[in-house]
A and B are shown apart, each in its own frame.
Chain A
């Protein structure tokens, strides 16, 4: 918690073997007959001030991971340490106090703002929840926040339905900044926006990171978006990380066959430059019934006998480059 306890370079957030399983009930007695393994053995460390991108296709558990890390849903197993403090199972007022330090930017700018509340009240509500502050000072602070995210101060007196998607996302960002948090989990913050607006919002997020000394966990399904903003990128498949590396290293030499396929799918805005596209066969398996061994083996062209039987663990394949694949174990 306190600054002194935290040694230099100690991670802001440490997630170890995080699991989030949703039970499936069935049969006449509504007994648990299985579970959807939305997040399965996620291990991730965030250093102070860095941006880690988390990518993967729909349904791979990125959003659930983000929400579990912020304790918006309870983890099934594993541990979450924030600034060295174990926050995996704190609850009640303690958890509420912790929330000041970690905030979220939501994916859908239309559903994430209460339509019946004035924008000013939406943005100032976090401050009101924690501090006794004079009404006038609060209004002024809120207006400054609105201006900081690129909205006019008069936006205070308007309602969400009077804004466009990009502007609403700015409102959401202002709300998450109001408490001056240390960590922001951005759950696909630009995927609902027009491409032209996406870059504006991304640039805003980057500017804010410098100003407010923020650490981002940036969740996305679009590799080109994450490339722009992240220091490190983690690739998720069926609830767990298959590869994590510094952004350059990841794009220059992706190791995992799944990452290679993803990167080959990034469109290149140059008609003369043709590159070979790896097209994956089959669909993502159900997280309720994942394949044995490596979760990716049914779709992998390099799969061998060991892939079908043993689940690969993340290991160092190059400095700062970790991958969970049997191809790189010797």
Chain B
């Protein structure tokens, strides 16, 4: 006889969500990010201009009815490039964040839970990754293999980027495993993998999620920064960073605002929104019922 179960009562997640909804800034950010992402994904249906093909007749034209935000030095529509560029940039940043968070969580939780020798070996390895000169490595790599594509970029940045998350997760797990419910889990016969996945991770996942979100923002900076310098996304693929690199000459900055201002604003707004979202989630998760 199963009693009619009442509304699956107030889980900690529901409480956090209720708290999050009160945060107007964070909600606005979510809506903004949702729109930006949706527009980028729907790019092929929203604009008929080709973001890649060079059109000599329209080089460096200002905004007009045809080209809402004008064209760049290749005669390509800025709006189309913003949308397609967003696809590239957001895809890169989400993938990196996902890989970095998974790797970091894996290494960090194993090190934190088992401690002892496992911990010291894994953390020495993490230190090695952390001290790796990231920028130099990427530049040298690009110099040796100039034709690397987006996936190589994602893999390289991910492999060099998980150290911070691993350390964070490890420290959280170290603190969390002192709770008696972990000892209780051992005494009722849970295997280590179950203890980590069912008991420890759900209690530190909020920190991990917030960290993952902030990594997305950080990776937008990395992508735009590297692409601006010419070491990121290949120049023939539109990305927000590649659009910014058009502004490398003072001539463009002075006279053709439409080439760099829209992408600049979009990048800044997106990074801000992601950070507001992250902060809002952090606050929502940390409120005591």
**Chain A residues in contact with chain B, CB under 8 A?**
67, 70, 72, 96-97, 99-100, 103-104, 106-108, 111-118, 125-126, 129-130, 136, 139-140, 143, 153-154, 156-159, 161-162, 172, 175-176, 178-179
Contact = CB atoms under 8 A, between A and B. Distances in A.
Interface of B: 1-3, 5-6, 8-12, 179-181, 183-191, 194, 198-199, 202-203, 289
Nearest to A127: B188
B210 to A, nearest CB: 16
Contacts of B289: 161
Given A106-B180, A114-B199, A154 B6 contact: yes
Contact of A157 (B8, B181, B191): B8
Contacts of A96: 189, 191
A194 to B, nearest CB: 20
A172 B188 CA distance: 11
Contacts of B179: 111-112
B189 A130 contact: yes
27 contacts: A70-B187, A72-B186, A96-B189, A99-B186, A99-B189, A103-B188, A104-B183, A104-B187, A106-B184, A112-B180, A112-B183, A114-B199, A115-B12, A116-B12, A117-B199, A129-B191, A130-B189, A140-B2, A154-B3, A156-B5, A157-B8, A157-B9, A158-B9, A159-B10, A159-B12, A162-B9, A175-B184
Q: Which of B6, B179, B180 has the largest count of A CB atoms less than 10 A from its CB?
A: B180
Contacts of B183: 67, 72, 104, 106, 112
A125 B185 CA distance: 9
A26 B33 CA distance: 53
Contacts of B6: 154, 157
Given A139-B2, A154-B6, A157-B6, A99 B180 contact: no
A135 to B, nearest CB: 11
Given A107-B180, A112-B181, A154-B6, A129 B188 contact: yes
Given A72-B183, A114-B199, A129 B11 contact: no
B116 to A, nearest CB: 13
A106 B185 CA distance: 12
A104 B184 contact: yes
Nearest to B288: A161
Nearest to B184: A112
B60 to A, nearest CB: 57
Contact of B190 (A104, A107, A129, A157): A129
Contacts of B202: 114, 116-117
Contact of B181 (A107, A111, A126): A111
Nearest to A130: B189
Nearest to A120: B5
